[in-house]
């Protein structure tokens, strides 16, 4: 499991945010860094947070070197939907809409 997919595997959005905050406040040279970060995140071992950090660093290096597309925000979040039945507006639909609009 490498690359961006590995970064979030088994980690919730909230855990990732706590992880980011913990990295910001725990000094890099602190010998107990990963123990402290794991306690701040909760539910993760020191080994898990250190591995998560290494994966993050690898991904950042890949992005900076141009090996990974970093434009995730431009990805389409919609799924294509195939319609099996024609969509039609009935007279009953119109009456229901008019009743809703009046109330």
Those residues with Cβ within 8 angstroms of residue 33's Cβ, 6 or more apart along the chain or in another chain? 26, 27
Q: What is the DSSP letter of 28?
A: T
15/100: higher pLDDT: 15
Short-list 12, 2, 1, 8, CA closest to 42: 12
In whole angstroms, what is the distance from residue 57 CA to residue 30 CA? 18
pLDDT computed for residue 78 by the predictor: 57
**Tokens matching residue 98:** 């008019």
Q: Look at residue 80 in the predicted model and tell me its pLDDT.
A: 62
Rounded CA-CA distance 79/15 in Å is: 27
What pTM did the predictor assign? Answer: 0.56
Q: Measure the CA–CA gap between 34 and 86, rounded to whole angstroms.
A: 57
pLDDT band at 6 (very low <50, low <70, confident <90, very high): very low
Task: Give the whole-angstrom CA distance, residue 15 versus residue 37.
Answer: 11
pLDDT, tens digit, 9 for 90 and up, residues 8-52: 578 999 999 999 999 999 999 999 999 999 999 999 999 999 999
Length of the chain: 103
Q: Domains along the chain?
A: 1-71 (1.10.10.60)
């Amino acid at each position: 499991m490498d690359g961006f997919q590995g970064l979030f595997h088994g980690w919730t959005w909230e855990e990732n945010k706590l992880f980011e905050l913990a990295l910001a406040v725990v000094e890099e040279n602190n010998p107990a860094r990963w123990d402290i970060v794991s306690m701040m995140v909760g539910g993760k071992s020191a080994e898990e947070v250190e591995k998560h950090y290494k994966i993050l660093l690898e991904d950042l290096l890949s992005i900076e070197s141009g090996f990974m597309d970093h434009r995730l925000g431009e990805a389409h979040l919609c799924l294509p939907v195939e319609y099996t039945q024609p969509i039609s507006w009935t007279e009953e639909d119109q009456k229901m809409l008019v009743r809703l609009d009046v109330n």
